[in-house]
Amino acid sequence: MDNNQQSLLLHHRFGVNYVPSRNWYYCYNDWDGDSICRDLDAVAALGADHVRIMLIWPWFQPNPTALSARHLDHLEQILAIAAERGLDVLVTLYTGWLSGYHFNPPFLENEPFYTSPEWRKVQDFFLDGVAERMRGHENFMGFDIGNEINCNWQATPADGDAWMQRVLNRMQALCPGCVHVNGIDHAPWFTQNTFSPQALVAQQTIVPIHSWSFWTQAGKYGKHLDDPYTRLAAGMATLVRSFGQAPQKPVWLEEFGVCSEEMPEADIPRWLEKALASALDQGVSWFTWWASHDVDRRFQFHPFEYGLGLLTTDNRLKPQGQLFKQIADAYRGQPVSIPATILPPPPVERSEQGTWRWLLDWMDRGS
């Protein structure tokens, strides 16, 4: 990555994880380009400069040796629509896990995902085919390996780290100059899970974190507007840098959000304000809220999923969306200020409880 691209990592960006308002990600199979246009009009009006989108892997690669041209066409249409609205697009590839469901490819079920030569051929075939389509789009931001891929397939950190390095190297060779990351959930930062935190820091130019107060059990340690709930992202950014012994490492808050299942709807803007303020203070570079839109309740999901949007399913701006826009407009493109402080050593105990003790200690020190 050249100096100009490195500089981009140290200037603030704001975006959303795109959840299509009509038909969720089933939209790939029931295509409505006009609906996508309306959605991304509303996303651009939010002050977003990028979107993170999901590929449902078995729909795009229904067979080990075949890709779906129609689904790839739809992907390209999303990039073209986004480009018209000034939005860059991060494409999340081996997905995989999404909104509480597993979308595993229907083949090689008994082969070890991270070490099997047969899986490697399948993975490379898919990556190569999508990359060929992406190279023609100037707003292609890069690849995310998969949405929380460790929720689908687990391995020892040694095998996971080696696989991650191989895939990131191939992504960089196919699409040089882009930002390629591994958007895992919180587990590898809290426990021993598939990827080592040291490799996650060392192998990525910017480290994405998924900071979910609800799913990390922050509610055990405080109420919804208390520090454990609102400062988790800031604490996780410090945790990342501590594990990597990299005090100036760029960090991307790639997934974060709350909904009325965990707090009163009226308190969500205040939570968002406090969470962003503390993360900005800790020098987090990029912010990508989950999600752009609420989910239509005619679909069956965990109750938590329906109300995470900054926009309703008919593209109306919610109060938290208005606050997001104000903050994005104030900070977008501004240089990141990472505190020049001495990092505490990482947690000794690799467990949820041990990591929370570390986070609470960090918060109590007023860091």
Q: Cα–Cα distance between 250 and 31 in angstroms, integer? A: 37
Residue 96 falls in which region: left (phi positive, over 0), alpha (psi -120 to 50) or beta? left
Strand order in the sheet with 50-56: 140-144, 88-95, 50-56, 13-17, 286-290, 251-256, 207-211
Rounded to 5°, the CA angle 127-129-130 comes to 65
Task: Give the count of domains, the chain.
Answer: 1
Closest CA to 159 of 128, 120, 101, 126: 120
Residue 177, Cβ density class (10 Å: 0-12 exposed, 13-18 middle, ≥19 buried): exposed
Q: Is 280 helix (H, G, I), strand (E, B) or coil?
A: helix
Q: Cα–Cα distance between 268 and 320 in angstroms, integer? A: 6
How much is the pLDDT for 7? 80
How much is the pLDDT for 69? 98
Q: The domain containing residue 191 runs over which residues?
A: 3-364
The DSSP-derived string for 72-89 is: HHHHHHHHHHHHHTT-EE
Record the tokens describing residue 240, joined without a space. 């990342």
How many Cα atoms sit within 13 Å of 33 on the Cβ side?
A: 11
Q: What is the CATH number of the domain that holds 116?
A: 3.20.20.80
Is the CB of residue 40 less than 8 Å from the CB of residue 51? yes
What is the per-residue pLDDT across 191-238, written as a single tens digit (0 to 9) for each? 999 999 999 999 999 999 999 999 999 999 999 999 999 999 999 999
Cβ-Cβ contacts under 8 Å for 262 (sequence gap 6 or more): 213, 214, 219, 224, 304
pTM, full prediction: 0.97
What is the per-residue pLDDT across 92-137, written as a single tens digit (0 to 9) for each? 999 999 999 999 999 999 999 999 999 999 999 999 999 999 999 9
Taking 50 as the pLDDT cut, the residues of the chain under it are none
